[in-house]
Structures are given as structure tokens and as C-alpha cells.
Structure 1
Amino acid sequence: MATAVKTTTTELPESRVRVDAEVGAGEVERSLQAAARQLGRDLRIPGFRQGKVPPPVVIQRIGREAVLDEAVRGGLPRWYIEAIDQAGVVPVGDPKLDVGDLPDRGEPLTFTIEIGVRPTATLGSYRDLEVGRAEARIDEEAVDAELEEMRERLARLEPIDRAAQSGDFVTIDFVGSFAGEPFPGGEGRDQLVELGAGRLVPGFEEQLEGVAAGDERTVEVTFPDDYGVEALRGRAASFAVTVKDVRAKELPALDDDLAEQNGFDSLAELREDVGSRAREADERRVDAEFREAVLDAAVAQAQVEVPEALVRARTHELWDRLLHSLEHQGVSRDDYLRIAEKSEPDILEEAAPDAERQLRREAVIEAIAVAEGIEVSDDELLAALEPTAQREGTTPKALRDRLRSQGRLDDLAGDVRARKAIDVVAESARPIPVEQAQAREKLWTPDREEQVPGQPAGGLWTPGS
């Protein structure tokens, strides 16, 4: 398929490239006309209905250079992505973008991109690696915890005659006030409160311990300085509380009746099922850890140069992704830093080792994929999309077509290709006991004294190797 952008790529030092891009004159003209139509929607020109001003009239009225500038601003993000795709590079960090002069009529637009790219790896051994693998097991404590959760889900709240204590539930009405004056939002009726749960203002629940149904009590509290309602922060308040009832949580016995309520014939059968699922979960954990360890073993055998500037760029990418995720959860950057009790430079410094590890792994995965001639078929893409398609109530093919139209299908193909590359290494690896692997790590290696700090060690030396 013909593309609007032509590129040439020049490799630069320290895992950077310069991409010289040229947007064809035809694409520039189409973008100019589209920008003129968009601008014409807001223009009022005698003789034309609003929104119906022809592009040539818009260009004549505003000026070709101004409309072209708008067209370039609108088209550049799309042309940038196409240029990166054409260059076949995997960018790391923010680009340095330099746009040439606005072209004359019939001339192309040129721009250059200078950016860090994924480093390259010179592979060492990556097949038949001996790597420690743990044994999957059933965590009896986890089984007990899940059975206890089942009891909690079936628990009932029963009225009691004794005074309330931590762990009990009280139903209350309350009215809050500042110096005798009620404040907005300070009143509640029929509120169920679990004493000791820590869900209310500090000190509130503790002052209700010892109450009984029908009691009235005044609770004195001070709102925390970081309370969610700014107007209440740091203020002392009184709450007139009326206790309507006191109830205790009653858990069902851990017996066959509990098992029957969960669809099993006996407690032994229920426990066996919970244990089986716990073991399957642990097997998945062990498998994931083994695959990661195998990949790291292949990385240790490879040579990968990762410039410090590239690590810094990836570190900022990781931080930006975290902030984006937090924003969707309603957590701001400042809130996160306050909760973490760290500065942004501290967080970036702590993330640097993970950033470098990621870059090394990605370089080795790509090198293995190339060495093994790994490709991704359409059937493999559809299989990878099956779980998501089921959740979204669509078909894998429809989801594939949607991702393709959004320009996101290549990302999925890259993920599948990477997984297949790791499969090659993991399936050929020879598992050994974790204790044996740990003992080997303590052995002397001939290259260790000459090893560059921060670089992975070379091949492990063992007697007879």
C-alpha cells in the first residue's frame, strides 16, 4: 500500500537514530484543503452560508501560509507515526522533532526525527540453559484463608444484649456540629458502623465501644489534616449519637453444611477443591517466574549496550505510564508523591534498574525472534484476542479489524512474537532445583573482576565447563 511519507534512517551513537521524512506534495495539498474546510466552518463571509465556505475562498481570505501551518500541525502526529513505522524502529523516550520550512505549492514537506531506539543484542547461548525452578505447592494457610472468607460471606449479624465491643456492628443516628452549630453533611440516620474497622474519622469508633441499644453518647473528634472535605480539615467537631441497636457477626461453622452451601457434598471435598485451585494458581506463578528467570539467563549470556541516556528515557516512560494509570483511578501526581513520601527524582532513581532490565530483555527477545525467524500468523492473533473478545461480547475477527483500524494491531503482534521467542528459550531450558541454582550464583566466575558495574555477568564458570 502506498504511503504518504518516505523515510531514510541514519544510525547515531548511543542507540539513537535520525529519521529524515518527506511528506509527498499530494498529501500536503490534501491536508491543506482539509484544513481549509475545517476553518471554513467557523468563517462568516458575505455570499456564503456559514460552514459552506469553499476551501479556495478560505485560503484566499486567511492566506495560504496560515492554512498550511494549521494543516501541518494537524497532520504531523499522523505523519510522525507513519515515519516511525516506515523506519522500522522501536522508539524509546521523547523525540527531537525538527520540521522544515513550509513548502511552496507542489513541493513536499520535510521533517527529521532524532530519537532513542531499542538497543540491539549480540546473542550468546539461549537454548538448553539450566535455570532454577521452584516446586508448586499447596499453601495450607491460603486454603484456610479462603475457607475463612467463605464463612465471612455467609456470616449473619445477630442482635445482642451486651455492650458493644470491637468487631461488633452498631446502627446509629448522628448529628455533627462545630461549637453547637450543625454543619452540612454532618448528619446521618440508620448508619451501620463496624467498630474497629477504621472507616470513620479517627477516634469515632473507639468512643462507641461499650454502648448498648438505646444509649445516647457525645463523640468528640478532630478531622485529619488530609480529610477528603477541605472545609473540615483540622477542625474539632462534636457528634450527638443515638444507638439504635448492637449486633455481632455470627460465622457459620466450618463443617459439611458450609460445604453444601457452596455446592459440595462434604467439607473434605470443598477443602480439596480449594487446595486444587490454590495449587493451579501456584503452578502459574512458578511457570511465570521460571520463564522470567530463563529470559534473564539468556540476557546474562548476551552482549547488550544500554546507554545511560536510554535508561533515563525509559525511566521517564515508566513514570508517565504510572501517572496515566493513577489519573484513571482519581489519584493525582501530588497525591501519589505524598502517599509514597518520596520526591519525583527519588522515584525515577529507584525505577532506573527496572528500566535498564526491561531494555536488556527487549533487546534479547528481539534478537531471538530474528534468529529463530519467528513470525505471527493471523490465527495466532485471533487466538490471542479470544479472551478479550469474549469479555467484550464480540468476535476475535471483529476485534482484530477494530485494532487494525486504530493502528494498534502491530502492538499485539509484537507481544505475541515476544511470547513465542520466550517460549523457545523456556521450552529448551533444563530446570534445576532453586537451591542448586542459588549455589551456582555464588561460585567464582573468571570475568567477574573485569565486569563493568551494572552489566550482567558473562557465562557462569563451573568445574569442567
Structure 2
Amino acid sequence: MKVTKKDLEKSAVELAVVLELDEFQPYIEKGAQHISEHVKIEGFRAGKVPYDILKQKVGEISILEEAAHIAIRKTIDDIFAKELAGRQPVGQPNVEITKLAPGNPLEYKVTISLLPTVALGEYKDLKIKREAVVVTDEDIEKTLKEIIEMRAKETLTDEPAQLGDKLMLNINISLDKVPVEGGQAKDVTVMLGKEYMVPGFDDKVVGIKKDEKREFKLQYPATHHQAHLAGKMVEFEVKATAVYKRELPALDEELAKEMHFKGVDDLKDAIKKNISADRERQADIKSELKMLEAIADKAKFGDIPDTLIAGESDSMMQELERNVVSQGGNFEDYLKHINKTKEELRLDLLPNAVKRIKTALIIREVGIIEKVEVKKEAIDEKLEAYKKMYAQDPEAVKRMAAPEYRRHLENMMFNDEVISKLKKWNYADTGTQSQS
């Protein structure tokens, strides 16, 4: 077998393969055997049809095509192992049969994208400073106010709406008397005094009663996220479907105990711990990104294949869609809200997709250099822990039994181990602070 390798752009290679006739012959026999098992020819049992008779029945080219497919499947992995010098293929190879004729060698061409090469610069002793976490009394008070707001007692009223009340509104928005797409909604919650909507909106609806209608105009801010409305004078038609008086509870020992705390001080301590834990997580994420970006800046990367970038961009799009849906939203509504099409959003994601690919390449390369290995026992232990965690979900447990899930878990543990080492080598110590 002869293989000629040609380097292409964007970390792709083309492999031209020639199987001489004597090498191809065993595959021709296998191809004929396979076809004979599925073709009915009078006087012969399945799989026992002589080659010449089979050739007359189905045509020799059909036998050769089947033989070529078998030969390619059987030889391609060995060719990759010998010719790609350890570089990992990306996506599916493109295979083209370039010569297939009776009495001739089989010739085919494979084009495959590869993971880009990475030449790491310095990846130790970068002295990355982790952001100190600060929790102030103001942070705690803000959370307490939010808790009190959520526990407010609401009572329907026929009285005019005042600041602090909750309104339910049907809203129709128009621009130059033309309804705005997505600008019609029923039973929209408006907390008067919070200015959740356009500046000035609350002032226009203060005093409204149940079933009352109002029409007014407001100018949208020039920086509004909906570009087609930004800076425009927009027409509103609203109808109040309900008005609620809101009675806020007192922040006292009784309220704290209702929330299963010993008292107000215990509640404040829990809030402080929760805020601190959340900010610690955010600080970890920011520091990790800062560290990986610093390593990426010192590294040199080969060309990243377009297929790899497109795949990562699609993955990011799917993650975003899942997040929107998990929060009770609709992805099409989200796209309208940001005034973008799916394709425009995908293009916006491309720079971050490239960053994520470079990060993954760095982690992989550091792991190879530092000989990071994930032991089989560690994978087994993690897998069993997950199975116990999801014991009430048979479908999830079934998915975990698949080899693909085990590989995913191994890859995740490999990444975690590499990042843990990078943090030890590169982080400068900082602490957590509380300010009064």
C-alpha cells in the first residue's frame, strides 16, 4: 500500500492511497461474499454464488464498489496512525474513490482536518492574582430587602395604583401607529416605583384603576437593547387587569424563624455565607480564565480548522438555548429581545469559540507534557458516585453505562487535573474579606 501525504490549509491533510491489485484482491472476495449473502440467485444458496455468476447478475462494478468500501474501512485507521504523527483528527474524514476499475489497483483520497499544533510558552510562575472577595453590610441589606419583597402580602384592590403596588397590565406598543413585533403582551407584572420598563413608564400608570385604559408616548433611551426602538418615541396602550396592595413584613425574629433560622443575626450570617460562596465561585472563574488567557498569549497555535470553530460555535449556541429554556424562556423570544437572528448570534459567538478551542488545546498540551493520567479506579469511583446520585433516573443511569459517557468523564477529569496543577503553579495567594 502506497500513501502520499499532502499538507493543506487550516491544519488539514490530504492522503492519496493506492492499494495494488494483489492487496485489493482479498477485499474483492469479501465484497463478493457480502453481496452474495443478500442476492437471491436461483440454484445457489445465499453466500455460495460463484464470482463469475454473481458478476453477471449484479455487475462487476457493484462488487468492486462494495470491496472498496470494505477496504477503506479496514485500512483508514492504520493509515491515520502511521501518517498523522500522533495528531488527532477532527470531525469525519472526506473520502473520495479516485480509481476503481476491473483488474486495477484501488485508489482513494482522504481529506481530514487535524487538531492544530500548539507550541507552549511559559505556563508556570505567572503569578496570577485572584480577586479578593468582599462582602459588605450593604450587600447583606440589599439581599434582606429582596427577601422582604418576595414575602410581601398582596391584596387585590379597586383603589388607584400607588408607588409600591403591583400592577397587572395588558400592553400594546406601536411605532408611528404600526404595532411593534413582539410588543403585545397580556398580564405583564409591573412593580410601581422599580422602573423596570422604559424610564417614565411608572409615572404614566400611577393612579390607574382595574379595567382602566390609558394611552401615552415615551421616548426609548438611545442605548436601549432593541436597536429598532432605541431613541424613538413609542406609543403605548395599556389596560390594568389587576391592582395589588403590597404589605411588606417586618424584619424581625419571627420572620427569621419562619425561614428556619434561629434569628435575624443567623439569617444575616447565612446571607453573608451565600454571597461569599457565590463570589468565590465567580472569582475562581475569572482567575482561571485570566490564567488560561495568559498562557494562550504566550503560546503559538497552528491554523484552527473551520469545522472545529463551527462545531464549537454550535455547541455554545446549544448551551445558550438550554440556559434560556431552563430559566423558563423561549429561545425565539430571546433572539427577538436581543434583535438578532440565529446566524447573527452564531457569528457573534465565533471569537469566543476560538478562545474556547485554544483553551482546550492548552489544557491538552500541558497534560501531555506533564504526563497527566486519570486512573481507571478514579473514573470507576466517579462513575459510581454519579449513578448513585441519579439512581431515581433510569435513563440517566443507562446513558452513563455507554462507553462514550466514560470517555466524556475521563476527559472531564483530565481537564480538572490539569487546571488544578496550573492553579498551583500560577496563583498568588489572596484572601476573602468582609467589610462593615
Q: TM-score, length-normalised on structure 2?
A: 0.61
State the partner residue of 1:179. none
C-alpha displacement of 1:268: 0.9
Query: Distance between the aligned counterparts of 2:282 and 2:185, measured in 1?
Result: 48
Q: Percent identity?
A: 18
Alignment of 1:17-56 (within 5 A): 17-18=13-14, 25=27, 29=31
Offset, 1:383:
4.9
Match of residue 175 from structure 2:
none
User: Which segment is superposed worse, 69-78 or 252-261?
Assistant: 69-78
Partners of 2:163 and 2:206 within 8 A in 1: yes
Partner of 2:140 in structure 1? 143
Mapping 1:322-401, distance limit 5 Å: 322-325=316-319, 329=325, 331=331, 336=335, 339-341=338-340, 348=347, 351-352=350-351, 354-385=352-383, 386-387=385-386, 390-391=389-390, 393=392
Q: Residues 317 and 192 from structure 1, CA distance in 2 versus in 1: closer, same or farther, beyond 3 angstroms?
A: closer
- Paired residue for 2:249? 252
- The answer to whether the 8 A contact 2:213-2:237 is kept is yes
Q: Which moved more, 1:247-256 or 1:361-370?
A: 361-370
Specify which of 281, 300, 306 is matched with residue 302 of structure 2.
Answer: 306
Aligned to 1:153: 150
Q: Distance in 2 between matches of 1:114 and 1:100?
A: 16
Indicate the SS of the match to 2:265. Answer: helix
Q: Does 1:168 align with 2:165?
A: yes
User: 1:127 is paired with a residue of what secondary structure?
Assistant: coil
Counterpart CA distance in 1 for 2:416 and 2:64 is 44
Q: Tell me the SS of whatever aligns to 2:124.
A: coil
* CA apart distance, 1:208: 6.3
Matched to 1:425, the amino acid is L
Equivalent residue for 1:285? 282
Shift in Å at residue 205 of structure 1?
A: 9.4
Shifted more, 107-116 versus 413-422: the winner is: 107-116
What SS does the corresponding residue of 1:137 show, helix, strand or coil?
strand
Specify the code of the residue in structure 1 equivalent to 2:389. Answer: Q
Q: Which shifted more, 145-154 or 163-172? A: 163-172
Q: CA deviation at 1:110?
A: 5.3
Give the drift of 1:259: 1.0
Q: 1:263 aligns with which of 255, 260, 264?
A: 260
Tell me: CA distance 1:131–1:220, structure 2 relative to 1, closer, same or farther (3 Å): closer
Q: Is 1:422 aligned with 2:419? A: yes
1:320 aligns with 2:319: no
**CA drift at 1:253:** 1.6
Give the C-alpha shift of residue 393 in structure 1: 3.3
C-alpha change, 1:321 and 1:32, in structure 2 (3 Å) is farther
Paired amino acid for 2:372: I
Contact 1:156 1:249 in 2 (8 A): yes
Contact 1:299 1:360 in 2 (8 A): yes
Does the CA contact (< 8 Å) of 1:17 and 1:114 recur in 2? yes
Q: Displacement, 1:263?
A: 0.6
CA deviation after TM superposition for structure 1 residue 157, in Å = 0.8
Partner AA of 2:312 in structure 1: L
CA distance in 1, matches of 2:337, 2:244: 38
Distance change in 2, residues 1:284/1:193 (3 Å): closer
Tell me how far 1:80 sits from its aligned partner: 8.6
Q: Aligned letter for 1:320?
A: D
Deviation sequence 1:94-147 (CA, Å, 0-9, x none) = 855434567989x989551321423222x4443343222221222545433432
Map Cα deviations across residues 405-441 of structure 1 (whole Å, 9 max, x no partner): xx3433332232122122222113350679xxxxxxx
Q: Is the 8 A contact 1:389 1:399 kept in 2?
A: no
The amino acid across from 2:375 in the alignment is S
For 1:98, the aligned partner's letter is E
Show CA shifts across 1:288-316 (max 9, x none).
33333333444444x42333xx2755443
Alignment-derived partner of residue 112 in structure 2:
114
**Structure 1, residues 58-82: CA drift from partner, whole Å, max 9, x if none?**
9998878679979999999999999
**Any residues of structure 2 matched to 1:87-236 within 5 Å, and which?**
89-92=87-90, 96-99=94-97, 112-121=110-119, 123-160=120-157, 162-165=159-162, 168-169=165-166, 194=190, 209-212=206-209, 217-218=212-213
One-letter identity of the residue aligned with 1:281: D
AA partner of residue 304 (structure 1): K
Check if 1:410 corresponds to 2:407: yes
Shift of 1:173: 11
Distance verdict in 2 for CA 1:156–1:300, change over 3 Å: same
Task: Evaluate the alpha carbon distance shift between residue 398 and residue 349 of structure 1 in structure 2; reply closer, same or farther with a 3 A threshold.
Answer: closer
Q: 1:144 to 1:13 in 2, by over 3 A?
A: farther
Q: Which residue of 2 aligns with 1:462?
A: none
Contact 2:216–2:236 (CA under 8 A) maintained in structure 1: yes
Give unpaired runs (5+ residues) of structure 2. Answer: 41-45, 172-183, 218-234, 432-436
Q: Distance in 1 between matches of 2:98 and 2:300?
A: 35
Please say if residues 118 and 359 of structure 1, whose CA atoms lie closer than 8 Å, have aligned partners that are also in contact: no
Q: Give the Å deviation of 1:150.
A: 2.3
Secondary structure (helix, strand or coil) at the match of 2:402 reads helix
The answer on 1:272 being equivalent to 2:269 is yes
AA aligned to 1:318 is: E
Distance 1:173 1:345, change over 3 A: closer
Task: Name the CA distance, whole Å, in 2 between partners of 1:75 and 1:153.
Answer: 68
Q: Do the aligned partners of 1:96 and 1:113 also contact (CA within 8 Å) in 2? A: yes
1:62-101 correspondence runs (5 A): 89-92=87-90, 96-99=94-97
Equivalence for 1:45: none
Aligned residues: 375
Letter in 2 for 1:144: E
Following the alignment from structure 1 to structure 2, what is the Cα–Cα distance between the partners of residues 154 and 111? 69
Q: How much has 1:351 moved relative to structure 2?
A: 3.3
SS in 2 for 1:112: strand
Change (3 A) 1:317 1:172: closer
Q: CA deviation at 1:258?
A: 1.8
User: How far, CA to CA, are the matches of 2:344 and 2:209 in structure 1?
Assistant: 53
